[in-house]
Amino acid sequence: MTFDFETNQETKHMKKIMLFLFLLGAINIYSQKFNNLALTPPMGWNSWNKIGCNVDEKTIRDIADAMVSSGMKDCGYRYIVIDDCWHDSIRDAQGFIRANPARFPSGIKALADYVHSKGLKFGIYSDAGNHTCGGKLGSRGHEYQDALTYARWGVDYLKYDWCQCDDLNAKGAYTTIRDALYSAGRPIVLSICEWGNNKPWEWAAGIGHLWRTTGDIFNCFDCQKKYGTWSAWGVLKIIDMQEQYRKYAGPDHWNDPDMLEVGNGMPANEDRAHFSIWCMSAAPLISGNDLSRMSKETLEILTNKEVIAIDQDSLGIQGFRQSKIDSIEVWYKPLKNGDWALCFLNRGSKPVNLEYDWKKQVIKDDVAKLELKYDLKPYTIRDLWAKKVIGSTDKVLKTYLPSHDVLMVRLLK
């Protein structure tokens, strides 16, 4: 028998290359985000804005109950998300994360089961660093273990924060948790929360389903709240910071201007303006108030289905500020069926008598590549807060717009 040494070596070499290519392919297949979990902006509730670190299982259950009984679930709100501070102070002997036993005596799995039994989805919070912003245990070095734990508990949504991460590469850190979630096998929405520090709009579409574009929201219409090295921002400040990133957002990858402050203390007109602009911006609608004790006005704002429909429109285009007339901003958002949403926002401290001559307007959306031509045919104007038709675009619009309030309409084609 002759032995062809060279051919044999070549075959071995080829086999190694094939194995390498196979593994590379396998890594590609198994490292991705769970697609199509957020084809419209996620809707739900998160504990942070109202109760901060004061989370416990009874409160979360009450909120889940209120989400259903208030009618919010019927409007599309789904996720009940526990933000920071649910954690125990140490991991178990194998390094698995646990909940604070005094605050969550029945455990997170039982709580997730309860939330699911209401037809809702359950979310949780962690951080890419060693510690969360509230000083609890972060996921650094435990990403795969934590992802496995969340999958076992029945988590559907993970908000992943960015405190204590100065020496980390953001894209790398968020890719690690994405891969960990994927390998744990349970579809989980990944909410990236690094405040826009590392331009997530440029790299996160294949990693998460939404990314924060700004620092934290503060419960005021137009203020800056300074906390030493960082600031939180009022509604107007936030919209000014995030509008420029609209071209990066779309179905399954949304710009996130932070959670809602509706019902947390601003007057109803400011809450209405806040909610309207979030909907014009195709922003995630994560309420942050006490759902079990809502005023009539708060409930009316959070459950206005016609306004929510603008946010949830399947075309998924983030609206834009088309023009400014003194203190009034004019926002447009194209919609799937050919209608347009339009919102006049009075940022000023005085009411305004507005006159808007439709025929003089040229509306071009460079991102959606759409144009609105009023001279081709008139649109019927439906006021989405008054819930009635108020005219047509063949006549100049004359309206009174109070300070810090909106006229939000749908132009029916």
Active-site annotation holds for 179? no
CA dihedral 72, 76, 78, 82 (to 10 degrees): -60
Catalytic residue check, 252:
no
Closest CA to 268 of 303, 307, 296, 310: 296
Least separation in angstroms between residue 364's CB and ligand GLA is 35
**161 scored as a contact of ligand GLA (CB under 6 A):** yes
Catalytic residue among 216, 258, 339, 365: 216
Least CB distance to ligand GLA at residue 387 (A): 33
- Name the minimum Å distance from CB 266 to ligand GLA: 18
CB nearer to ligand GLA: give 278 or 331. Answer: 278
Q: Can you list the pairs that 368-375 forms with residues at least 24 positions away whose Cβ atoms lie under 8 Å?
A: 368/315, 368/317, 368/334, 370/334, 372/332, 372/334, 372/340, 372/411
CB of 111 to ligand GLA, least distance (A): 19
286 binds ligand GLA (CB under 6 A): no
Q: Kindly write out the interface string for residues 177-196 of this chain, putting x where it contacts ligand GLA by CB under 6 A and - elsewhere.
A: ----------------x---
**Residue 153 sits in the site that holds ligand GLA (CB under 6 A):** no
Binding mask 197-236 for ligand GLA (x = CB under 6 A): -------------------x--------------------
**3-class DSSP state for residue 385?**
coil
Site for ligand GLA in 124-143 (CB under 6 A): 132-134
What is the chain's alpha carbon radius of gyration, rounded to the nearest angstrom?
24
Indicate the residue among 83 and 365 with the shorter CB distance to ligand GLA.
83
Neighbours of 22 (CB within 10 A): 10
Question: Would you list the DSSP string of 74-136?
Answer: GGT--EEE--S--B-SS--TTS---B-TTT-TT-HHHHHHHHHHTT-EEEEEEESSSB-TTSS
Which burial class, exposed, middle or buried, applies to 366 when counting CB atoms under 10 A from its CB (0-12, 13-18, 19+)? exposed
What residues from 364 to 403 belong to the interface with ligand GLA (CB under 6 A)? Answer: none
Minimum CB separation of residue 96 from ligand GLA in Å reads: 22
| Length reported for the chain | 413
Using CB under 6 A as the binding rule, the residues of this chain from 41 to 60 that contact ligand GLA are 48
Q: What share of the chain is helix, strand, coil (3-state, %, to 5)?
A: 30, 25, 45
Active-site residue identified among 56, 84, 161, 258: 161
Minimum CB–partner distance for residue 289 and ligand GLA (Å): 15
Catalytic positions: 161, 216
- Residues of this chain that bind ligand GLA (CB under 6 A): 48, 83-84, 132-134, 161, 193, 216
